[in-house]
Amino acid sequence: MAEKTEKATPKKLRDARKKGQVAKSQDFPSAFTFVTSIAATLLSAGYIFQQLSSYIISSFKSSSQQDLQTAASAVAFQGIMVTLTTSLPIAAITAIVGIVVNFLVIGPVFSGEALKPDIKRLNPVTNIRNLFKVKTLVELIKSILKISGAVILIYSVIWGSLQEVIATAALPPVATMMVFNSFLVKVIIRVGIFFLVIAIFDLFFQKRFFEKEMKMEKFEVRQEYKDTEGDPHLKSRRRHLAQEIAYQEGPSAARRARAIITNPVHIAIAIEYHKETEPAPKIVTMGAGTMAEKILEIAISYNIPIMRNVELAQTLYQKGQISDYIPEETYQAVAEILKWIERMEAKEIPEIFK
């Protein structure tokens, strides 16, 4: 198998996106939503505490003023309402942030390909091979790093707060709760930042890995170009646009030509050819009479080779189209001219023929 050295074409990336294949990091949106949910909880801690305090006081009042069955129903309903009013805003903010971050990182992706049953997933040989892939090993290392990092951070907070934790034995319940709350906040903030840093590195890795995975062989690039060029709708549209541009440029388009084929003075056809990307030479521009004279003037001023071939010039002029490939019947003759020009430029032809 040939080495994949070429960057993925826009078409391949579009096709991959349709299948749901994009550079995505599961950790990046997860870390952001985790940090967002914690930040939202801390910012609304006062409101939550106020709601819970009111609920507890109200529950005691209801229990003392009403019979047990009526009070239980009222307390349960009020508990549900307090839970919703305190948790729903945080959940909504977290969900919105998760969706926005995911959209900004990978863009809109709607694909049912991942939901389709694939018999290859049940193949034990394939599954064993997947265990030893670079991506799988990186995921394993990342998981170990996250767990060990979180443990170290929690231990460092415990060690740093050890004196305060011991002192809570002599403190009233409210003060003890405040100490543990402070301890919990320190742990969550440090672990959240740690996860966020890992997520950023993971996003960078996933993008690089995806780019490498999407690379193509040179043959694939050429084949894709031919396949796309073969689409009659795309081909017709491209030809129409290219012809419009070429007609607007007029004789000046001859500056891009590889060679000018003449009749010798009545007709002039400008040919270009990029063998790395084009399957055949193209007609840049052409004209007769005054138009041909202008094309020849431009060719002379830009040192573009001018080849006199009456039969070839007439065939190209009658059957060819501007910004389209040359007619198939002229391939051999044009190829010989282009080869001759290459040899001339490489100084393989005696000076007398130049």
Greatest mean pLDDT among 60-69, 73-82, 165-174, 216-225: 73-82
Say if CB 145 and CB 198 are below 8 A apart: yes
Domain boundary among 187, 217, 247: 217
- Does 212 lie in the same domain as 309? no
**Residue 146: inside a domain, yes or no?**
yes
**Residue 178: inside a domain, yes or no?**
yes
CA dihedral 58, 63, 68, 74 (to 10 degrees): -10
Q: How many domains does the chain fold into?
A: 2
- Does 292 lie in the same domain as 212? no
What CATH number does residue 298 fall under? Answer: 3.40.1690.10
Output 343 or 119, whichever has higher pLDDT: 343
Q: pLDDT tens for residues 321-347? A: 887 889 888 988 999 999 888 888 776
The pLDDT of residue 64: 66
The strand order across the sheet containing 306-308 reads 282-288, 267-272, 259-262, 306-308
- Does 236 lie in the same domain as 204? no
Output 116 or 184, whichever has higher pLDDT: 184
- Does 328 lie in the same domain as 270? yes
Nearest to residue 302, comparing CAs of 270, 344, 348, 262? 270
Residue 278 belongs to what domain range?
Answer: 231-353
Query: Tokens at residue 131, please?
Result: 């265990």
Domain boundary among 190, 217, 244: 217
**Residue 147: inside a domain, yes or no?**
yes
Judged by phi (left if over 0) then psi (alpha if -120 to 50, else beta), residue 347 lies in left
Cis-peptide into 264, omega within 30 deg = yes
- Does 284 lie in the same domain as 162? no
**Residue 223: inside a domain, yes or no?**
no
The pLDDT of residue 234: 61
Domain boundary among 161, 191, 217: 217
- Does 33 lie in the same domain as 157? yes
Please give the average per-residue pLDDT across 168-186, as a whole number: 74
Round to whole Å and give the CA distance between 212 and 221. 15
Query: Tokens at residue 336, please?
Result: 């010989």
**Residue 5: inside a domain, yes or no?**
no
Please give the average per-residue pLDDT across 269-298, as a whole number: 86
Round to whole Å and give the CA distance between 279 and 218. 13
- In the chain, the percentage of residues whose pLDDT exceeds 90 is 6
**Residue 305: inside a domain, yes or no?**
yes
- Does 237 lie in the same domain as 199? no
